[in-house]
Amino acid sequence: MDPQIEELLGLEAVRTRAHVVLKLAEEGRLNHFNYHPERMEDATDYVLKLIQVGAISALTNITSFPPHGRWQHFEVGGVPRIATLLAEWDEEKCDTTEKTRRLIDLFFVSVLLDAGAGDFWKFKESQSGLTLNRSEGIAVAALHMFLNGDFAGPDSSVKHTANGDALRNINVELLSRGLQVDDGNPMIGVAARADILRKLGESLVNLKDIFGPSGRPGNLVDYLIAKSSDGKLDYKDLWSVLQRLLIPIWPSDRTHVNGQPIGDAWPLKALEQQAGSESKPYSNIQPFHKLTQWLAYSLMVPFSRLLSVSWSNTELGTGLPEYRNGGMLVDMGVLELKPEALQRGLSLSGGSLPSFGAGDDEIVEWRAMTVALLDVLHTKILARLDGVQLSLPQVLEAGSWKAGRELAAAKRPETKCSPILNFGDGTLF
C-alpha cells in the first residue's frame, strides 16, 4: 500500500495532525475559529463535575465507568434490553462465543446507522412505551430490526444475526419502516444510510477470509481470537480489519489519494498554510474516521464483557469529533467562530444558528480542534483526579459527550441541537 495512504488510514495521523492544528490555534493562526485556552479550566470543571455526580448517582467508583460504546445506548430508559437478549439466547443453549458473535452482528449495523438523525426524528418503542430520539433512539430501533430478522434475511434459520446477503438487499422502504420514518417523522439521510448498509453487505461478502462465506459481521470474533496472544487482543488488528472493510463503503465524493478513497479524511486550509512550500503531498489532509472509531470502541466491549479478554494498543484511539463533544467546546466558549465564519454559516442556514457542509473547511477545522482538545481535557481531568486513572473513552462516555448534550438542552431547549449545524448525509458526524 502507498505509505501516504497507509498513514492517512491509520489512527496515529488523526491525533498527530489534530495537534498541529491546536498549535496553530495557540498561535492565533486558525482560519475560522478563535481559541480561548483559559476557558478550558471551566470546561474541565463542568465535565469533571458531571463525572463525579454520575458516579455518586450510580453508586459506583469513577474508575468503574464503562468506556464510550454502543452498549449503554441499548439500556436507555433503564430497560435492560441486552441482558434480556442474553437470557433469551441462554434458553437457546448459545455458548458465550456465539452470544458474542450475535452482539457483534447487532453492534455493527446499529453503529453504522448512527449518524446524526436531525432534531425532529423520534422512535416509539411499543414494549416500554418510551419515545426516544437521537443516538439512543437509533440504537433501539436497530435492535428491534435485528430482533425482527431484518438483517438476517428471510432465508436465515436464525433471526438474531446479520449477514452480507441480507444487508446488501436493504432498501429505503425497509429501513424507513424499521426507523418509523415518514413525512411526520423525518430523519436526515435515510437513503444514504440504506446505501451504506448495502455497501457494507457487499464488503462483508468480499472479505471471506475474515467474515466467512455468508459475510457475517460476528465472524470477526473467531478471526481476532485466532490472532490473539495470551488472551489479549490487539486494537491494531481490529482497526486494520475495520478499515479494510469500511473504506470501500463510504460515499464516493469523499477524499481520494492517488485514486484510493480514504474515508472520513478531509483537506484543511490551516494544515496547507502551515506546511507551506515545503509540504509533503497530502500533508494538508486531516483524517478523523469517526464512525469507524465509534464502531471500534463499541465492538471491544462485548469481547471484554463476555469473553473476558483484554486489549492492547487501545491508547491509539482518539476523542470522537462529533457534534456533542465539539458542541460542548463551543458552548463553553473554548472555541468561537470568527465573525466572517459566523456570518457565512448564518447565510447558509438562513436561521439563527450557523450551518456548513460536512466537508466545509469550517467543519473540518472544528473537528480537528475537537480531537486535540479532548486530549487536553483528558490530561486536565487526570491531573485533578490526582492519580486516579480514567481512560479517554471513559471521559467521553461519562463526561464530554454528556456535557455536550446537557449544554445543548439548556441553551437550545426546543431542539437540543448543536450550536453549529452541518448539512449531514446520514453517514457522518
* Of the candidate ranges 205-209, 219-223, 225-229, the one whose mean pLDDT is the lowest: 225-229
Tell me the three cell numbers of residue 318.
482518539
Decide which of 229 and 23 is more confident: 23
Question: Does 59 lie in the same domain as 81?
Answer: no
Query: How high is the pLDDT of residue 144?
Result: 97
Global pTM reads: 0.93
Q: What is the spatial distance between Cα 355 and Cα 352, in angstroms, rounded to a whole number?
A: 9
pLDDT > 90 fraction of the chain, expressed in percent and rounded: 79
pLDDT at position 43 over 60: yes
| Distance of alpha carbon 62 from alpha carbon 47, whole angstroms | 13
Judge if 171 and 198 occupy the same domain: yes
Asked if residue 326 has pLDDT above 80, the reply is: yes
Taking residues 248-271, report their average pLDDT: 90
- Grid cell of 52 as nine digits: 463525579
At residue 424, the pLDDT reads 66
**pLDDT grade, residue 429 (50/70/90)?**
low
Q: Are residues 275 and 419 in the same domain?
A: yes
The whole-number pLDDT of residue 188 equals 86
pLDDT of residue 276: 64
Instruction: Please state at what angle helix 290-307 crosses helix 235-246, rounded to 10 degrees.
Output: 130
Are 329 and 392 in the same domain?
A: yes
Is there a contact between 21 and 366 (Cβ–Cβ < 8 Å)? no
For 111-148, the pLDDT digits (tens) are 999 877 777 899 999 999 999 988 899 999 999 999 99
The verdict on residue 193 lying in a domain is yes
Residue ending a domain, among 199, 227, 255, is: 227
Residue 424 counted as domain residue: yes
The reply to whether 51 and 111 lie within a common domain is: no
Q: Is residue 214 part of a domain?
A: yes
Give the lowest-confidence range in 8-22, 176-190, 278-292.
278-292
Residue 427: the pLDDT is 61
Q: Is the four-CA dihedral 89, 94, 96, 100 of positive or negative sign?
A: negative
Provide mean pLDDT across the span 3-17: 94
DSSP string over 304-342 = HHHH--EEESGGG-----SHHHHHHHHHTTSEEE-HHHH
Using pLDDT thresholds of 50, 70 and 90, give the confidence band for residue 366. very high
Q: Among 191, 27, 75, which residue's Cα sits nearest to residue 66?
A: 75
Domain co-membership, 32 together with 6: yes
Whether residue 11 is contained in a domain is answered as: yes
Tell me: pLDDT of 410 over 90. Answer: yes
**pLDDT at position 325 over 70:** yes
Distance between CA atoms of 246 and 395, rounded to whole angstroms? 26
Contacts of 297 (CB under 8 A, 6+ apart): 67, 68, 69, 317, 393
What band does 278 get if pLDDT is binned at 50, 70 and 90? low
pLDDT at 280: 73
pLDDT > 70 fraction of the chain, expressed in percent and rounded: 97
Residue 425 is predicted with a pLDDT of 58
Handedness of CA 64, 70, 74, 76 (dihedral sign): positive
Judge whether 84 lies within some domain.
yes
Say whether both 10 and 98 belong to one domain.
no
Same domain (yes/no): 99, 7: no
In terms of domains, do 101 and 185 share one? yes
Res. 156: pLDDT tops 90: no
CB contact at 8 A, 135 and 113? no
Assign 3-state DSSP to the chain and report helix, strand, coil percentages, each to 5: 60, 10, 35
Segments forming the whole domain that contains residue 56? 1-65+263-294+316-429
Confirm whether 246 is domain-assigned: no
Rounded to the nearest integer, the mean pLDDT of the chain is 92
Instruction: Please give the residue that has the higher pLDDT: either 413 or 115.
Output: 413
74 in the same domain as 59: no
Average pLDDT over residues 76-85: 95
Quick check: is 311 in a domain?
Answer: no
Please tell me the total count of domains within the chain.
Answer: 2
Residues 214 and 93 reside in one and the same domain: yes
Q: Count other C-beta atoms under 10 Å from residue 338's C-beta.
A: 14
pLDDT of residue 230: 81
Q: What integer pLDDT is reported at residue 428 of this predicted model?
A: 61
H or E, element range at 357: strand 355-357
pLDDT at 211 over 90: yes
- For residues 32 and 82, membership in a common domain is answered with no
Residue 274: its pLDDT value, please? 84
pLDDT at 63: 80
